[in-house]
Amino acid sequence: MDVDSGTRRVSLRLLVFIVIYSLLMSACSSDRWRLGSQGYTVRKNETLFAIAWRYKLDYKELARWNNISSPYTIYPGQQLFLVEPDGLQSNNKPQASPAQASRNTTKPSLKARDTGKRPVLAKTTPKQWRWPADGKIVARFRGSNSTSTGIDIAGKFGQPVKATAAGKVVYSGSGLKGYGNLLIIKHSDEYLSAYGHNSELLVREGDAVISGQKIAKMGFSESRLARLHFEIRRQGAPVDPLKHLPKR
């Protein structure tokens, strides 16, 4: 092999490497807002409450960072800050498309429905919490930074799941990985509760619920055991439900 031939082969390999590297970087960049810690690209059927829940954020802060007002309507393809905007490089801030900019974010959610009822929300915390289901506690809260951010209550498939306090349903669906059919209820400006692994959801987003109301039926967890996963969050941070629920 002559020198020129060897040089050409090395150059060709280098060119292939550069092309592959560029493609990988481009892919990473295009997914930047989905995978990075600073921002997120909204997908179809997602809600601001669900995104805040996934990242353990206060929904009010998430809305404020992104200049979104109540009822917190968001759209597929919209880019959201997941941190305080001042903490980002100015050239990294997500930009709304002309179509997004022209939308009125105060329009009611497409998934919400007006039942004619209005929940009575406390300003800080519900006066009394109720147990969401009967059964033995089989998993306990281990801290807001752990994988166990709530409690699991064992029971029977199809048994009633009840609202722990009065509030408004802000999420009803199965889009959050690891929760199965999930309900999130807003009780006040500070507190949310969540009910996971249901076999059937009996209320929809926008519905007002009263304390003790049947909202779902218990289903199977990922381990195929009938149980309810229950969480309480204060300003986005998981707290120990047993410190709020009455002793039994």
**Percent of the chain scored above 70 by pLDDT?**
69
User: pLDDT tier at 218 (50, 70, 90 boundaries)?
Assistant: very high
Residue-level pLDDT at 39: 81
CA nearest neighbour of 176 among 202, 204, 147, 197: 197
Terminal-residue alpha carbon distance, the chain:
84
DSSP 224: S
Q: Which residue has the tokens 């690891």?
A: 178
Q: Residue 86, exposed/middle/buried by CB under 10 A (0-12, 13-18, 19+)? A: exposed
Tell me whether strands 167-173 and 181-186 are parallel, antiparallel or unpaired: antiparallel
Q: Write down the architecture of domain 33-102 according to CATH.
A: Roll (3.10)
Q: Assess contact for 198 and 133: CB atoms under 8 A.
A: no
- For residue 118, give the 3-state DSSP assignment: coil
Q: Residue 175, exposed/middle/buried by CB under 10 A (0-12, 13-18, 19+)? A: middle
**Predicted confidence (pLDDT) per residue in 18-47, tens digit:** 545 444 444 333 333 343 557 889 998 889
Helix ranges (DSSP H) in the chain: 3-30, 32-35, 48-54, 59-65, 98-102
Sequence spans of domains, the chain? 3-30, 33-102, 137-243
User: pLDDT tier at 100 (50, 70, 90 boundaries)?
Assistant: very low
CATH of 137-243, one of 3.60.15.10, 2.70.70.10, 2.40.37.10, 2.40.50.140: 2.70.70.10
Q: pTM to 2 decimals?
A: 0.70
User: pLDDT tier at 104 (50, 70, 90 boundaries)?
Assistant: very low
Fold match, 33-102 / 137-243:
no
Residue-level pLDDT at 33: 39
**Dihedral of the CA atoms 143, 147, 149, 155 (nearest 10)?**
-130
pLDDT exceeds 50 at position 78: yes
Average pLDDT over residues 191-202: 97
φ, ψ at 62 (rounded to 5°): -60, -40
